[in-house]
Amino acid sequence: VFSKDSRQLVLAHFWVAFAAFFAALLLGEWQMVIRSPLIDWIGNPELYYRSVTAHGSAMGYVFPTLVAMGFGYAIVELALKQPLAGKRWAWIGLILVVLGTVVAMIPVSLGKASVLYTFYPPLIAHWAYYIGIVLVVVGSWIWVALMSVNLRVWKKAHPGEAVPLPMFANLAGAYLWAWTSVGAAVEILFLILPVALGFKSTIDAGLSRVFFSWTLHAIVYFWLMPAYIAFYTLVPRAIGGRLYSDVMGRISFVLFLVFSMPIGIHHLFQDPQVGAGVKFLHAVFTAMVSVPTLLTVFTITASVEIAGRLRGGTGALGWVKALPWHNPMMLAVAFSFILLGFGGAGGLINMSYQLDFAVHNTQWITGHFHLIFAGAIVIMYFAVAYDLWPHLTGRALLQGGMMKAQLWLWFTGMIILTFPWHVVGVMGMPRRMAYFDYTNPEIAPQAITVILSAIGGLLLVISGLLFLLVLLRGHRGSLVELPEFRFSQPVHAVARVPVALNGYALWLALMIGLSLVNYGYPIAQLVALKQTSVPAVPIGGTP
């Protein structure tokens, strides 16, 4: 079913994604090294912020978006077992993403767009940076439309049937992204670009930040979707088990859709322009996002236990020993859950209005989102690539040892990178520092933590390199005749599901309604307030 041109399409998405990932990974490690006491200070903080901007933009916008897009296209053919409709549009989408990345990275490398990937108005970058980001987002919107169209085609051909879980989950990611990217799009188009293009010299920074928060949290759940799809639909099959509950999976994905959107103001807990009551409302719904996460942890652990018991494991914990630990997917899901556990615990602290005061804008935050995204999520991207690769290339992928070494290195590296960050974050080390004065007796004791993080980063670079090597070797493996690609089978086969869990109308309505309830007043109020703009601060001179 997996046609050759679709396979090329998916491979192209993955390779661009992994190339961007590796370049950004190198930049990240460079940042770690130059601010550590290991080498002399580079002397120019601007270079550091250039690198941070490129690292964040590539890792935040380009890499996960392309992985989600490529994986989504693969799911259409593999799960729906129908040819992908709109292939030409899919290529246009990819070209837009690549074009956008190049257009955005030119001003970044010239030092005219060191605004970090979160934009930070009143900082204003060269307009090309924002246009590039818009192109990336527009390219991904084509993917959203194609996912919706392909499901419609399938539903027409299969009236009344249950949508396969991988595609159902895939659509959750697509719709979530479509709605959450609106915030940053509005911010760029209506608030930032008029200033970047020179029509205005002031910007409403508070309103801009509220719009960005609209995007900033749910975007993480968009990054998360491919990992969660892999948890539910690849892991149980890959380790020889069964999915504990198909319906639980559907409920988790629709809960993500409803609850991950109207919570972004927890990123603005220390901002004065939003009222405390609104912040409380967002904190409550942020807590609700832990529900689908915990549901998933339960369901997947149960599915893994089924695998352990099928393999002859007995007793309360004997099934853990019986699990196929030589299997990269097994390793990946275990690492992912551990990193998710630490990251999630930190997230519950950030979510709390009071505790957040202690860690706001410290290195703790950097540690938190690296654990969640670069740890729990990206390690599953690796697993997805390993799982799909033979079906994409038609060749055997045999480097089991290298894969395991790669996953171990990533897991260890991520722990060594982020744990010191958490520690110094609690001690008050600010994030986004280009330079530490280690001669200051108050800072000197923290030098060791910066060195540790640099070492963790080095392990990650080695792991990233191994990852690319495994995939490259996969292209030169021997041709194999593979059995048909299968997703996980649930314990109880799904003949029919309630209409509410077979489509998105209800959940989209709740998502939009809740967004309006939680964001309506802050946005309306800030739009209506007069004299709230501040002078823009152009980066690298006037554009």
Q: Which residues are catalytic?
A: 217, 221, 368-370, 431-432
Question: Phi and psi at residue 202, in whole multiples of 5°?
Answer: -120, 160
SS3 assignment, position 343: helix
Residue 106 CB, nearest approach to another protein (Å): 39
Residue 377 to residues 300, 332, 479, Cα–Cα distance (Å)? 15, 10, 30
- Size of the chain, expressed as the number of residues it contains: 543
Judged by the rule CB under 8 A, the positions of this chain that interact with another protein are: 160, 258, 273-281, 284-285, 288, 496, 498-503, 505-506, 510, 513-514, 517-518, 521-522, 525, 529
Residue 517 CB, nearest approach to another protein (Å): 6
Cα-atom radius of gyration of the chain, to the nearest Å? 23
Burial of 510 (0-12, 13-18, 19+ CB in 10 A): middle
With CA atoms as reference, report the closest residue to 241 among 333, 169, 152. 333
Residue 121 CB, nearest approach to another protein (Å): 19
Residue 365 to residues 213, 267, 461, Cα–Cα distance (Å)? 15, 11, 22
**DSSP at 477:** S
Looking at the DSSP bridge assignments, the partners of residue 123 are: 537
Nearer to another protein, 104 or 255 (CB): 255
Nearer to another protein, 412 or 502 (CB): 502
Looking at the DSSP bridge assignments, the partners of residue 538 are: 124
Nearer to another protein, 255 or 329 (CB): 255
* Residues whose CB is less than 8 angstroms from the CB of residue 416 and which lie 6 or more positions away in sequence, other chains included: 452, 453, 455, 456, 459
Residue 265 CB, nearest approach to another protein (Å): 10
Nearer to another protein, 32 or 501 (CB): 501
Residue 264 CB, nearest approach to another protein (Å): 15
Nearer to another protein, 275 or 318 (CB): 275
Residue 154 CB, nearest approach to another protein (Å): 15
Asked if the peptide bond before residue 122 counts as cis, ω within 30 degrees of 0, the response is yes
Nearer to another protein, 250 or 422 (CB): 250
With CA atoms as reference, report the closest residue to 222 among 194, 276, 180. 180
Helix (H) or strand (E) run with residue 124 in it? strand 123-124
Nearer to another protein, 66 or 526 (CB): 526
* Residues whose CB is less than 8 angstroms from the CB of residue 532 and which lie 6 or more positions away in sequence, other chains included: 204, 206, 207, 273, 526
SS3 assignment, position 140: helix
Nearer to another protein, 130 or 504 (CB): 504
Residue 74 to residues 17, 147, 383, 436, 468, Cα–Cα distance (Å)? 15, 11, 15, 46, 20
Residue 241 CB, nearest approach to another protein (Å): 29
Residue-wise DSSP of 368-415: HHIIIIIIIIHHHHHHHHHHHHHHHHSB----HHHHHHHHHHHHHHHH
Residue 505 CB, nearest approach to another protein (Å): 6
